A = this chain, B = another copy of it.
Amino acid sequence: MDLTPGRPDFNILRVGHVEFRVTDVERAREFYVERLGFVEQARDGARLYLRGYEERDHHSLVLRRAPSPGVGHIAFRVAAEEDLDHLEHLHRAHGLPVRWVRDEEAAMGRALRAQDPSGLPVEFYCHMARVERLLQRFDLYRGAFVMRLDHFNCQVPEVEPAARWYQKALGFACSEYTESGDDPPRLWAIWLHRKQNVHDLALMTGTGPRVHHAGFWVQDQLSVLRACDILAAAGLAGSIERGPGRHGLSNAFFLYLRDPDHNRIELYTGDYLIADPDWTPIRWSLNDPRRATFWGHAPPASWFEEASLVESMVDGAFVPTRPAGMRDRPDFVT
């Protein structure tokens, strides 16, 4: 398997933001702002703009009022405005739908919305208004001390072609990957990064295209435990789906939460630095129990079965899903 990245003529920097559909903005606000401590930056008609304490960009999480849950788009920041034009050209050359967006989301310049080969709605943008970073406003810290958006995890029926697009066409590098137990083994999931940690984007075999979760960085393990305590004290223990625990793959300490609309987020901390372009990807077997949770805890079935539908970049309707092209979970699910 060739895991080396391509060298495109544009520069995707990092994960940027995600837009979640929520049916009740106030209820979602209570979960994200009051309990988890996301910074509430702004709101307009149907949208609430949130971010972490470390972030200098206007927002990394948009909650948009909608009749049903789901994901509007995931977004990556690029280094320069002209990178967006290169990306438009690339997508058109591959027959992938694109659309320019302006003044739809607050605080942003122009953005290119594209549908990736798996059907995921991906936005690229360079400009977002800067706001005051609150990293050292410890007097304002609340909840889980959410620092920044870290990554997206998406389910697609076929990981291999999806991964090839991000690696070869978009220049993502592979940090770790999971192979099935088939003979020969098949690529079951892959962790891809542009910034220098384990991932900006993970692709996982499953019914798709769907966004499985958005991962947010918290500053330490105790922040993860505190999130559990706070949610349970507030009567929201039901939002805890999996964890806390340590991932084998990525080494991160994690917690998976379902917001009141069942959109899923991960609180995530303690993976590692990858500053070397010649990093050798780490291989895991799907059925290695330490892969999912290093301590051996089995994930619940819901974690494999449930994920967020995504909006079509073209018409805003949900993109139809197809079932996984191979088994969608290890043997040891509870």
CB of A86, distance to nearest CB on chain B (Å) = 16
Given the complex, which residues of B lie within 8 Å of A219, measured CB to CB? 270
The CA-CA distance from A226 to B270 in the complex, in Å, is: 13
- Mark the stretch among A91-99, A116-124, A132-140 that contacts chain B: A132-140
A246-B228, A251-B136 given; A79·B277 CB < 8 A: yes
Q: With A135-B272, A221-B220, A230-B139 given, is the CB distance from A238 to B296 under 8 Å? A: yes
Q: How far is the CB of A178 from chain B (nearest CB, A)?
A: 16
Q: Is the CB of A138 within 8 A of B277?
A: no
- Does A240 belong to the interface (CB within 8 Å)? yes
The CA-CA distance from A248 to B139 in the complex, in Å, is 15
* Given contact pairs A148-B273, A222-B222, A248 touches B295 in the complex (Cβ within 8 A): no
Q: Would you call B237 and A138 a contact (CB within 8 A)?
A: no
Task: Check if A164 is an interface residue, CB within 8 A of chain B.
Answer: no
A interface size (C-beta, 8 A): 57
Q: Tell me which of B130, B195, B246, B277 contacts A196 (CB under 8 A).
A: B195
- Complexed CA–CA distance, A138 and B37 (Å): 13
Contacts of A290 in B (CB 8 A): 232, 237
Contact, CB under 8 Å: A226 / B195 = no
Q: Is the CB of A196 within 8 A of B275?
A: yes
The answer on a CB contact under 8 Å between A232 and B138 is: yes
Q: Tell me if A277 and B13 are in contact (CB < 8 A).
A: yes
A136 touches which of B54, B140, B233, B245 (Cβ 8 Å): B233
Q: Which residues of A contact B (CB under 8 A)?
A: 13-14, 35, 54, 77, 79, 130, 135-141, 147-148, 194-197, 219-222, 225-226, 228-234, 237-238, 240, 244-246, 248, 251, 253, 270, 272-273, 275-278, 280, 289-290, 294-297, 334
* Apart from the given pairs A141-B230, A232-B290, 11 other A-B contacts in the complex at a CB distance below 8 Å: A14-B276, A79-B277, A79-B278, A136-B229, A136-B294, A195-B196, A196-B275, A220-B221, A228-B245, A232-B296, A334-B334
